[in-house]
Amino acid sequence: MQTQFTEAQLQDARTATSATAIRQCVHCGFCTATCPTYVLLGNELDSPRGRIYLIKDMLENQSKPGPETVKHLDRCLTCLACMTTCPSDVNYMHLVDHARAYVESNYVRPWPERLVRRLLAAVLPRPGRFRFALRTAGIARPFAPLFRRIPGLRPFAEMLALAPKRLPRALPPPEPLAGQARGRVAVLRGCVEPVLRPEIQAAAARVIHRAGFDVVPAPGEACCGALVHHMGRVDDARAAARRNVDAWTRLLDDGGLDAIIITASGCGTTIKDYGFLLREDPDYRDKAERVAALAVDISEFLTRHGPTAVTPRGITVAYQSACSLQHGQKVTDAPRALLANAGYTVKLPAEAHLCCGSAGTYNVLQPDIADQLGRRKAGNLAALDADVVATGNIGCATHLADRMQVPVVHTIELLDWATGGPVPPRLRNTLNKPRDNHVTAREPS
């Protein structure tokens, strides 16, 4: 795509990176076929190619974006399916991240949107606040139908619908490994996952221990910054990244680390990109690259280091490949191979490349598209007639669980079970039920 950025504009490193990405696009349109919003809405401006044109126009003219441009950019799920499809290696992720930051600085959203976004940015990345908000959601729940009728307040209704009626008990961090360890790793605690599903990181710690590695805490580590980054709040994302880089660097300098393991693939995509996110910060660039080089998805780590002895459980798993894992990190085979090697029969749904609609805060901010994609994904998974759905991202797990009869668990919970751990809590009650009762997609609550 031809660009007309001026020399002065290209002095800015972010504009120069975006100009390179835009020039790489040859307008072939291959990406449109795998873009969920184009597949649903059929509008060129809701396709990757259309969004690249919008971004080019906005950045070249240094113009204030209008509501139409913002609408089409907001509808992008950042699922990155377009990057998997693109034959020209356009780095759409960096391009849309820059565009979102530009919109955040140059566009005044209507006040209800500003309020919702501020609330999400203030609450979700902080587990203490998030837990408190979920505990108090019951008080506001009766107002959900009212919020749903007022367009600007609809996201509040979606937030209330997503809040679980009962919050699981917080679990303590893992004990040090008894006996000699092969090495030591850090596991990202993060923000949302340990609040909504503490069993995931507990299962991960058990499997890592069985592989012979100690899990060490990283004081000061917190949310990876992905949630705020996707809302265009790049300074908040950089602050989160610096906090985590500091926490892991302290461990690296004092005893070393074999890996930084991530169980939520949305976080993994962001942490692996910390070097790019902090590339303009001379104090952090090298440290961020060092940390990013050690970041691995739990499935990548276990492919290298175990698990070994397994007890096949004789059930069928529908594997839902999270976009952040398959498109963002290009980790496609590892989780399926681990499940198959652990004795599970693994099935893949039709349209496995299409996003389920969760996408961080997308299901709150774009509830209609998120719901359409969620139902479509749930239908494709239910057609597999499996006993359980496994996925590698907390967002997909919660979004799909609300739309399926069959339990949705994290891949690591099944690997833990097959290597000596307990039955995943969400599977416990369904294993002995007749199959007809738990294989179909259902209406979301």
Q: Which residues of the shown chain bind ligand SF4 in the complex (CB under 6 A)?
A: 25-31, 35-37, 48-49, 51, 76-82, 85-86, 88, 90, 92
Written as one string, the DSSP assignment of 26-85 is ----GGGGG-HHHHHH--GGGSHHHHHHHHHHHHHTTPPPPHHHHHHHHT-----HHHHH
Output 85 or 398, the one with its CB closest to ligand SF4: 85
Give the torsion sign (CA, 41, 106, 266, 264).
Answer: negative
CA distances from 397 to 233, 291, 365 (A): 25, 27, 18
Output 207 or 323, the one with its CB closest to ligand SF4: 323
Output 27 or 165, the one with its CB closest to ligand SF4: 27
Euclidean distance between CA atoms 156 and 138, whole angstroms: 13
Query: What b/e readout covers 258-271, taking b as 16+ CB neighbours within 10 angstroms?
Result: bbbbbbbbbbbbbb
Output 33 or 122, the one with its CB closest to ligand SF4: 33
Written as one string, the DSSP assignment of 311-371 is -----EEEEE--HIIIIIS---HHHHHHHHHTT-EEE--TTTTS--S-TTTHHHHSHHHHH
**CB-based contacts of 322, cutoff 8 Å, min separation 6:** 265, 266, 391, 392, 393, 395, 396
334 near 297, Cβ under 8 Å? yes
CB of 139 vs ligand SF4, minimal distance in Å? 35
CB of 18 vs ligand SF4, minimal distance in Å? 13
Partners of 260 in beta bridges: 186, 295
Output 174 or 357, the one with its CB closest to ligand SF4: 357
237 near 225, Cβ under 8 Å? yes
CB of 194 vs ligand SF4, minimal distance in Å? 27
Output 82 or 427, the one with its CB closest to ligand SF4: 82
CB of 55 vs ligand SF4, minimal distance in Å? 11
Output 58 or 82, the one with its CB closest to ligand SF4: 82
CB of 30 vs ligand SF4, minimal distance in Å? 4
Output 91 or 405, the one with its CB closest to ligand SF4: 91
Euclidean distance between CA atoms 224 and 238, whole angstroms: 9
Euclidean distance between CA atoms 293 and 260, whole angstroms: 9
CB of 186 vs ligand SF4, minimal distance in Å? 29
Euclidean distance between CA atoms 388 and 120, whole angstroms: 31
CB of 353 vs ligand SF4, minimal distance in Å? 9
The first and second tokens of residue 371, run together, are: 């719901």
Output 1 or 337, the one with its CB closest to ligand SF4: 1
209 near 185, Cβ under 8 Å? no
Output 48 or 392, the one with its CB closest to ligand SF4: 48
Euclidean distance between CA atoms 180 and 24, whole angstroms: 51
CB of 286 vs ligand SF4, minimal distance in Å? 29
- Phi/psi for 190 (5° steps) reads 75, -150
CB of 175 vs ligand SF4, minimal distance in Å? 41
Euclidean distance between CA atoms 223 and 78, whole angstroms: 18
DSSP 189: -
CB of 50 vs ligand SF4, minimal distance in Å? 8
